[in-house]
Copies of this chain bind each other. A is one copy, B any other.
Amino acid sequence: MSVIFGERVRTLRKARGLSQKQISIITRLDRSYIGGVERGERNVSLYNIFKIATALDIKLDELFKDFDV
């Protein structure tokens, strides 16, 4: 679950040419937290999911499209 979510965040971030640092600045979440999310080490909360989606400029339903676990 978290691994799939993390991989998706990383893919989207890279597709947008953003660094973890930039996502960290936009979301005000620590860069190491963002790294942990991308490695699937975090059970991310709804607020932080929304912050990350906003930073990636993607709607939640798009972020979770075909999110089969």
Contacts and interface: CB of A to CB of B under 8 A. Distances in A.
Nearest to A48: B43
Contacts of A2: 46-47
A1 B44 contact: no
A68 B62 CA distance: 12
A55 interface: no
Nearest to A66: B61
B67 A61 contact: yes
A64 interface: yes
Given A66-B61, A67-B61, A49 B50 contact: no
A41 to B, nearest CB: 12
A49 B49 CA distance: 11
